[in-house]
C-alpha cells in the first residue's frame, strides 16, 4: 500500500529519465511479447536491461527497486506494470500531456440549443473540441479531446470519435460510476431556473465523485438518453442515439420534443418524456436521477397514453 507516502513522493520517483525509459521499455517489451490470449508478459531483469539505455546492471537494479511497489509489480517470473504504472505509461506513450494539433473550424450537423439555428462549427480550443453557433455566437458544447485522438482520426471520423467518447462517458455516469476513477458517484437533481437551456429542461443532474472530486453535470433529459428503454425506443424508429453527440440532442430539447418535470416532492420524483412523432418513451426518476420505471406511450387525441 502507498498510504504512508505523499503524492509528491510518488511523482518524485518519476523525475528521472532512466525510470521513465524503464516504464516505456516495459510497455514496449510487453507489447512485443504478448501472445493472443495470454495476459501481460512479465519481464525478466535481462529483458528490461536489453531495452533500456543504462550504464550497468546495478544502476538498473537500483531504479527497478525504486519503481517496484508503485509503478511496477515484481513476481518470481519478473516485472510487470502496476495499476499506476499502466495509467502513467499509457499517458506517456499517447503523449496526453501535449497540446493536440489544432483543427477547424469545420461545419458540423446539429442545431444550436440557444437559438435553434443549424450553423454550427467545430474547432479545437485549449484541448477541448468545441462547437460554436455562428448565428448567435454562443458555445454549444465543449468535449475533452486528446492528442492521440486528433493524431489518428480525421474529419468526420474525428467528430464521430468525440461523439462515441462522450456517449461512453455518459453511460458510465448514468450507471453511477466515475469515468475517471471507477468510484461510485453520488447524484442529485437540481433545478436551475435561470439555466441557459430553454424552459423545456430546467433540471440538471449533478453527479459527484468523492474520490477524485470530478463533478459531472447533465440536463435531466440527456441523463436518460442512454437508458436501454430510450436506446431501444429510438432504435425502433431508426435512430441510434449511442452514435449521437450531446450537441445533436439540443434540437430535441429546443423544439420541446424532450421535456422533464418534477411530479412529486418529499421524496422528489421526476418524469422525462422523449417524443418521436406520435410516440414517446416516459421515464420516471427518483431524487438521485435513477430511472425507476419506464413506459412507452402514444399520442391519442392530443394526450399521451400507454401503448
Residues 6 or more apart in contact with residue 280 via CB below 8 angstroms: 273, 274, 296, 297, 298, 299, 304
Smallest gap from Cβ 122 to Zn ion, in A, equals: 14
Q: How far apart are CA 135 and CA 303, in angstroms?
A: 35
Considering the complex, state which of residue 152 and residue 186 has its C-beta at the smaller distance from Zn ion: 186
Mind giving me the DSSP string for 23-81? HHHHHHHHHHHPPTT--PPPBPHHHHHHHS--S-HHHHHHHHHHHBTTTEEEETTEEEE
Smallest gap from Cβ 111 to Zn ion, in A, equals: 8
Considering the complex, state which of residue 73 and residue 214 has its C-beta at the smaller distance from Zn ion: 214
Smallest gap from Cβ 86 to Zn ion, in A, equals: 17
Considering the complex, state which of residue 76 and residue 215 has its C-beta at the smaller distance from Zn ion: 215
Q: Which one-letter DSSP state was computed for residue 277?
A: T
Binding site for Zn ion (CB under 5 A): 112, 114-115, 133, 135-136, 178, 180-181, 183, 209, 211-212, 214
Considering the complex, state which of residue 121 and residue 269 has its C-beta at the smaller distance from Zn ion: 121
- Phi and psi (nearest 5°) for 31? -60, -40
Considering the complex, state which of residue 181 and residue 190 has its C-beta at the smaller distance from Zn ion: 181
Considering the complex, state which of residue 181 and residue 263 has its C-beta at the smaller distance from Zn ion: 181
Smallest gap from Cβ 181 to Zn ion, in A, equals: 3
Best CA proximity match to 72, nearest among 60, 84, 54: 84
Considering the complex, state which of residue 112 and residue 189 has its C-beta at the smaller distance from Zn ion: 112
Smallest gap from Cβ 133 to Zn ion, in A, equals: 3
Considering the complex, state which of residue 109 and residue 236 has its C-beta at the smaller distance from Zn ion: 109
Cell (9 digits) for 159 = 467528430
Smallest gap from Cβ 150 to Zn ion, in A, equals: 25
Smallest gap from Cβ 119 to Zn ion, in A, equals: 7
Instruction: Report the 3 state secondary structure along 191-247.
Output: ECCCCCCCCCCCEEEEEEECCCCCEEEEEHHHHCCCCHHHHHHHHCCCCCHHHCCHH
Cα end-to-end distance, the chain, whole Å:
56
Smallest gap from Cβ 94 to Zn ion, in A, equals: 20
Q: Please say whether the beta carbons of 269 and 287 come within 8 A.
A: yes
Q: How far apart are CA 203 and CA 199, in angstroms?
A: 10
Amino acid at each position: 500500500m502507498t498510504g504512508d507516502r505523499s503524492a509528491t513522493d510518488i511523482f518524485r520517483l518519476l523525475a528521472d529519465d532512466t525510470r521513465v525509459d524503464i516504464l516505456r521499455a516495459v510497455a514496449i517489451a510487453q507489447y512485443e511479447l504478448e501472445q493472443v490470449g495470454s495476459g501481460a508478459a512479465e519481464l525478466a531483469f535481462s529483458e528490461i536491461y536489453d531495452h533500456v539505455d543504462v550504464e550497468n546492471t546495478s544502476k538498473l537494479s537500483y531504479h527497478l527497486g525504486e519503481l517496484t511497489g508503485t509503478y511496477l509489480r515484481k513476481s518470481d517470473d519478473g516485472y510487470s506494470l502496476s495499476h499506476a504504472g499502466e495509467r502513467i505509461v499509457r499517458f506517456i506513450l499517447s503523449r496526453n500531456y501535449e497540446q493536440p494539433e489544432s483543427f477547424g473550424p469545420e461545419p458540423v450537423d446539429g442545431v444550436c440549443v440557444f437559438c435553434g439555428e443549424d450553423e454550427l462549427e467545430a474547432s479545437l480550443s485549449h484541448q477541448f473540441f468545441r462547437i460554436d453557433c455562428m448565428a448567435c455566437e454562443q458555445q454549444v458544447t465543449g468535449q475533452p479531446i486528446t492528442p492521440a485522438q486528433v493524431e489518428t482520426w480525421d474529419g468526420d471520423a474525428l467528430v464521430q470519435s468525440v461523439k462515441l467518447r462522450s456517449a461512453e462517458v455518459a453511460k458510465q455516469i448514468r450507471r453511477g460510476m466515475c469515468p475517471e476513477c471507477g468510484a461510485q458517484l453520488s447524484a442529485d437533481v437540481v433545478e436551475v431556473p435561470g439555466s441557459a437551456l430553454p424552459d423545456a429542461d430546467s433540471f440538471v443532474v449533478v453527479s459527484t465523485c468523492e474520490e477524485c472530486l470530478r463533478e459531472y453535470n447533465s440536463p435531466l433529459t440527456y441523463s436518460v438518453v442512454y437508458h436501454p428503454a430510450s436506446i431501444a425506443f429510438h432504435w425502433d424508429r431508426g435512430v441510434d442515439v449511442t452514435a449521437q453527440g450531446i450537441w445533436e440532442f439540443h434540437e430535441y430539447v429546443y423544439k420541446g420534443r424532450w421535456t422533464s418535470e418534477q411530479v412529486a416532492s418529499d421524496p422528489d420524483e421526476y418524469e422525462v418524456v422523449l417524443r418521436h412523432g406520435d410516440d414517446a418513451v416516459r421515464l420516471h426518476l427518483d431524487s438521485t436521477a435513477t430511472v425507476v420505471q419506464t413506459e412507452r406511450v402514444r399520442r391519442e387525441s392530443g394526450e399521451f397514453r400507454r401503448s
